[in-house]
């Protein structure tokens, strides 16, 4: 079995199980600059661009900038930047499989060691689109110098690129770019634009450039929705490689469902020539409905279920959904608490239908989405994905949402670090350590050590940097969280979940009978 790289494509074209790119693809010009090498962008944004190229529509390739220091670029180099997208899912009740060798990526550059090549791209007139996915914490204002090599932050790097482009083309308005961040934060495009403008002022850049930045470039809010677990575990990977007939270090798996909603008008549609190649690629003046449905129901359920699933001993989403207790918790959470309280006008039927679609997606047996990956940046996700719905539920119902409160308790318990190793903090489950990849890890390590449980819960619930408000004012919430934590400690998460579901169901049945 050979490896995947360009010279092997000719013999792979006889394989009926995989879509292989045509040789002409490799001669297409570079048109897109992308910040982020992660599986998600490769499984969604790059998927659309690859599909457009195969249809002869966009005819352009992507240069990726790798900003982080973890990992390396050798796999991309060995495979001529080719990788396989293995789609597995259920569409309208019918199982669907698809294997595509993506040739959308032209080069992958290291920001740390190849920053001059990134700035050289600013001189390329064909590069007219910038895409990013730097996680929720990537779009933040930090003090940055665009003349560093490279700048520290993603907004700083983007500003340096835009300034180099402004200089290269003498401020010509025709050479502005469309910038589409895909980070899962509200108004990601507008927020990125405001940060870039602030950095431009802090770096003392001339007024003419700032005018060009505002008038000739377009920062678009966008929403992305596709479950992309990335590289599967070894046994599944070997099975896929045997089916495909080659080895692929960069192979990723995805579900069938895919949505990329970009906020823009007809002008933006014209500037993004890959628009129209797929029904999942939407460009509309208002994408808030798409954002709220996805952010609150899919991502909110993922977030509230993440710590709980891990503490119950489930490694993947599909494994957890096979358990009747967990699947009941997640379905009830979405249908009885999140769907009715989405902080945006959504028809009840629309929210419920989306909830049931999410459940079907979570139950996809082909997607091995790991809970430990979902719990990365846990605290930031609680604040952005869950708290607006929690607050709206309290406002509408004048009561504490039971399922969300249970999810908060599981989050606090998951964040219980028992070991510190340098800057890393580890929790323990069933005797095995797990790395808590969260900016609040040190905070929780301290709180779990110095306080009694009820005192600790009050202090944590009071912390507005976590929740956006003081939650300790609700005695019901505080008491419930303490009770759940004590039960998890004594009886385990799964037994606690069972008791919780029985209690909630009994309470609601009793209320209905009254």
pLDDT tens-digit series, residues 77-118? 999 999 999 999 877 777 889 999 999 999 999 999 999 999
Q: Across the strands, what pairs with 283?
A: 262
The rounded distance, in Å, linking the Cα atoms of 293 and 349 is 12
Asked if residue 408 lies in contact with residue 353, where contact means CB atoms within 8 angstroms, the answer is no
Mean pLDDT confidence for 72-78: 89
Q: Across the strands, what pairs with 160?
A: none
What was the pLDDT predicted at 510? Answer: 53
The rounded distance, in Å, linking the Cα atoms of 302 and 282 is 24
Q: Across the strands, what pairs with 107?
A: 63
CB neighbour list of residue 93: distance below 8 Å, 6 or more residues apart: none
The rounded distance, in Å, linking the Cα atoms of 402 and 427 is 26
What was the pLDDT predicted at 505? Answer: 80
Asked if residue 39 lies in contact with residue 228, where contact means CB atoms within 8 angstroms, the answer is yes
Percent of the chain with pLDDT over 70: 97
The rounded distance, in Å, linking the Cα atoms of 351 and 340 is 8
Mean pLDDT confidence for 345-371: 90
Among 85-99, 123-137, 206-220, 395-409, the minimum mean pLDDT is found in: 85-99
More confident residue, 180 or 71: 180
Mean pLDDT confidence for 270-290: 95
Q: In terms of Cα–Cα distance, which of 4, 9, 104 is closest to 58?
A: 104
What was the pLDDT predicted at 508? Answer: 65
Mean pLDDT confidence for 359-385: 91
Backbone angles phi, psi at 341, to 5 degrees: -120, 15
The rounded distance, in Å, linking the Cα atoms of 500 and 304 is 15
Residue 503 has pLDDT above 70, yes or no: yes
β-pair type (281-284, 419-421): unpaired
Please count the CA atoms within 13 angstroms of the CA of 20 that sit on its side-chain side: 18
What was the pLDDT predicted at 146? Answer: 95
Show the tokens assigned to 395.
């406002």
pLDDT in tens, 150-194: 999 999 999 999 999 999 999 999 999 999 999 988 899 999 999
β-pair type (2-3, 105-110): unpaired
Asked if residue 51 lies in contact with residue 277, where contact means CB atoms within 8 angstroms, the answer is yes
pLDDT in tens, 415-462: 999 999 999 999 999 999 999 999 999 999 999 997 799 999 999 999
Q: In terms of Cα–Cα distance, which of 177, 124, 136 is closest to 36?
A: 136
The rounded distance, in Å, linking the Cα atoms of 151 and 165 is 16
What was the pLDDT predicted at 509? Answer: 60
pLDDT in tens, 252-263: 999 999 999 999
The rounded mean pLDDT for the chain is 94
β-pair type (424-429, 419-421): antiparallel
What was the pLDDT predicted at 512? Answer: 43
CA dihedral 376, 380, 383, 389 (to 10 degrees): -40
pLDDT in tens, 2-34: 899 999 999 998 888 999 999 999 999 999 999
pLDDT in tens, 293-335: 999 999 999 999 999 999 999 999 999 999 999 999 999 999 9
The rounded distance, in Å, linking the Cα atoms of 232 and 368 is 7
Residue 282 has pLDDT above 80, yes or no: yes
Show the tokens assigned to 6.
């360009």
What was the pLDDT predicted at 514? Answer: 43
Burial of 224 (0-12, 13-18, 19+ CB in 10 A): buried
Show the tokens assigned to 223.
């929403």
What was the pLDDT predicted at 501? Answer: 97
CB neighbour list of residue 271: distance below 8 Å, 6 or more residues apart: 128, 129, 178, 218
CA distances from 258 to 56, 209, 228, 369, 445 (A): 21, 37, 10, 16, 38
What was the pLDDT predicted at 299? Answer: 93
Left (φ > 0), alpha (ψ -120 to 50) or beta: where does 245 sit? Answer: left
Asked if residue 409 lies in contact with residue 496, where contact means CB atoms within 8 angstroms, the answer is no
Domains recognised in the chain with CATH numbers: 2-284 (3.40.50.720), 288-513 (1.10.1040.10)
Mean pLDDT confidence for 138-149: 93
CB neighbour list of residue 274: distance below 8 Å, 6 or more residues apart: 48, 49, 51, 52, 57, 58, 281
Residue 70 has pLDDT above 70, yes or no: no
Mean pLDDT confidence for 331-355: 94
β-pair type (105-110, 129-132): unpaired
3-state secondary structure of 454: helix
Structure letter (DSSP) for residue 179 = E
Residue 511 has pLDDT above 90, yes or no: no
pLDDT in tens, 26-68: 999 999 999 999 999 999 999 999 999 999 999 999 999 998 7
């Amino acid at each position: 079995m050979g490896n995947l790289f360009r010279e092997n494509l000719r013999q792979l074209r006889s394989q009926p199980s995989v879509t292989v790119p045509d040789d002409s693809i490799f001669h297409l010009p570079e048109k897109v600059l992308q910040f982020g090498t992660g599986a998600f962008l490769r499984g969604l944004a790059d998927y659309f661009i690859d599909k457009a190229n195969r249809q002869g529509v966009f005819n352009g390739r992507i240069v990726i900038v790798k900003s982080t220091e973890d990992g390396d670029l050798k796999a991309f180099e060995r495979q001529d930047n080719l990788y396989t997208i293995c789609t597995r899912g259920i569409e309208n009740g019918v199982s669907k499989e698809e294997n595509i060798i993506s040739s959308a990526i032209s080069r992958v550059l290291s920001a740390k060691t190849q920053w001059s090549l990134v700035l050289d791209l600013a001189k390329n007139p064909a590069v007219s689109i910038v895409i990013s996915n730097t996680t929720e914490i990537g779009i933040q204002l930090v003090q940055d110098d665009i003349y560093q090599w490279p700048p520290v932050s993603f907004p700083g790097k983007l500003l340096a690129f835009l300034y180099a482009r402004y200089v290269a083309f003498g401020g010509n308005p025709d050479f502005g770019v469309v910038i589409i961040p895909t980070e899962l934060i509200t108004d990601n495009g507008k927020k990125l634009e405001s940060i870039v403008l602030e950095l431009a002022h802090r770096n003392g850049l001339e007024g003419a450039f700032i005018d060009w930045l505002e008038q000739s470039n377009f920062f678009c809010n966008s929403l992305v929705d596709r479950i992309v677990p990335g590289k599967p575990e070894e046994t599944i990977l070997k099975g896929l490689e045997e089916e495909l007939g080659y080895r692929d270090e960069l192979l990723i798996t995805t579900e069938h469902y895919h949505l990329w909603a970009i906020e823009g008008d007809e002008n933006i549609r014209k500037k993004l020539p890959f628009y129209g190649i797929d029904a999942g690629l939407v460009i509309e003046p208002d994408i808030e409905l798409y954002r709220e449905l996805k952010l609150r129901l899919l991502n909110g359920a993922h977030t509230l279920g993440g710590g709980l699933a891990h503490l119950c001993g489930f490694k993947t989403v599909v494994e957890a959904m096979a358990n009747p207790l967990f699947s009941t918790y997640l379905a009830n959470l979405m249908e009885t608490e999140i769907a009715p309280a989405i902080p945006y006008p959504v028809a009840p039927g629309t929210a419920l239908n989306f909830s049931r679609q999410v459940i079907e997606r979570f139950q996809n047996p082909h997607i091995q989405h790991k809970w430990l990956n979902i719990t990365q940046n846990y605290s930031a996700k609680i604040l952005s994905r869950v708290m607006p719905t929690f607050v709206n539920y309290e406002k509408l119902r004048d009561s504490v949402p039971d399922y969300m409160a249970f999810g908060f308790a599981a989050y606090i318990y998951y964040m219980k670090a028992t070991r510190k190793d340098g800057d890393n903090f580890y929790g323990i489950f069933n005797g095995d350590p797990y790395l808590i990849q969260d900016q609040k890890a040190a905070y929780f390590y301290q709180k779990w050590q110095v306080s009694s449980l009820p005192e600790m819960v009050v202090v944590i619930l009071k912390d507005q940097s976590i929740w956006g408000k003081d939650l300790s004012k609700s005695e019901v919430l505080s008491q419930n969280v303490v009770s759940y934590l004590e039960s998890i400690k004594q009886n385990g998460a799964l037994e606690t979940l069972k008791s919780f579901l029985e209690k909630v169901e009994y309470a609601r049945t009793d209320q209905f009978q009254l």
